Amino acid sequence: MAEAAAAEVEEEGGMTQAVKDELEVITTTERAAVITLLLGEQQASDIIRFLNPREVQALGAAMVGVADLSQEAVSFVLDDFVAAIKGQTALGLGSSDYIESVLKRALGDDKAATILGRILPGASSKGLEILRWMDARSIGEMIREEHPQVVAIILSVLEFDVAADVLGFLPPEVRAEVMQRVAMLETVQPSAMEELEGIMKEQFSSSSSAKSSSMGGVPTAAKIMNFVKVDMENAIMEGVTGLDENLALAIQDNMFTFDNLAAVDNRAVQVIMRNVEGDQLMRALKGADEETKEKFLGNMSQRAKVMFLDDMEALGPIRITDVEEAQKEIMRTSRKLSDSGDIVLAGRGDDFV
């Protein structure tokens, strides 16, 4: 018994195989959750208030998920964090808030806002931040009567999956024009920002100074479309094609498709498989090319692979629309895992490396 326990200990750092197994599957978000839990309520809340809604949701879920980690694994996560902090300087910590405070004290709010708008990206568009905390239905109802250009700007500052959901609450006849305008956005002039800020002021009694802002573009339009449901995607892209065929092709070229998953590394594929339902993956692979299918099957054990193929065969014929929807759902999950830093996607579009 004692010999078995001793054999379980690795030579390097005294780490047991069980702890090593735990650390191999823990995600970066879960590591952050461990550190947050160790800080205590007050310090944790001070940190969380600086996170965006997606980060709060991911961190909260991870904090629940790490409850069963062993004390040894927690200690190694903490040690890694301390080692990383030792390699950092304090110059960049809180610098934006410090600079903003100094400039406001020296120049006053109005002059400081003008300077901050030039040196701190997004510093003068705080009126838009509240949108990140609203649900898609509320945003859709608020902007459905606005000019398509204003709607395009708002969609460009939202999380891509939220923007896709907001599209569903807009009148069908304006969706294609809105996506065309999202794809054509580059620099938003002050007049457009002033109109948008006016909407925000009316809705929330908030205000901020307008400045020329960079947002939108073909990559943003493509990322939004990655999260749109299949039937809506087809209708919107047909509409955009009717408005501007070259622009529609550019959006499609930047969209990340299910078959692009053949290019991601094995670890990312394993993480994706842990986060999707088995029957959903079966439906998705029914319509995948051979390379993509082999990518997923190659990351299963031989026994699991045989069982998976038997179950997939038992499904029988499946409608193309069901296959496409399953692939779309897996892509939504993959994008969220990529955004949270749990995996790196490799494929088309500027966001992938």
Instruction: Mark out the alpha helices in 10-130 (DSSP H runs).
Output: 17-25, 28-39, 41-48, 53-65, 71-86, 95-107, 109-119
Block means of pLDDT (10 residues each) for the chain, length 353 residues? 44 66 80 82 76 76 80 82 64 56 62 54 52 78 84 84 88 91 75 64 48 63 80 85 87 80 88 91 91 92 91 88 87 80 60 37
At 170 the pLDDT is 92
In this structure, the number of other CB atoms found within 10 A of the CB of residue 123 comes to 19
Assign residue 349 a region: left if phi > 0, alpha if psi is -120 to 50, beta otherwise? Answer: left
For residue 90, give both structure tokens: 């304090």
Residue pointed to by tokens 């708008």: 117
* Amino acid symbol at 136: A
**3-class state of residue 209 by DSSP:** coil
> Fold for domain 126-254?
Annexin V; domain 1 (1.10.220)
φ, ψ for residue 255 (rounded to 5)? -75, 140
Contacts of 178 (CB under 8 A, 6+ apart): 148, 151, 152, 155, 167, 170
- 182: tokens are 């999202």
Q: What is the pLDDT of residue 293?
A: 92
Q: Residues near 244 by Cβ (< 8 Å), separated by ≥ 6?
A: 180
Q: Which of 347, 335, 344 is nearest to 259 (CA)?
A: 347
pTM, to two decimals: 0.45
Fold held by 258-339: Annexin V; domain 1 (1.10.220)
> Please, are residues 150 and 195 in contact by the beta-carbon 8 Å criterion?
yes
Q: What is the pLDDT of residue 88?
A: 56
Segment holding 213, helix H or strand E: strand 213-214
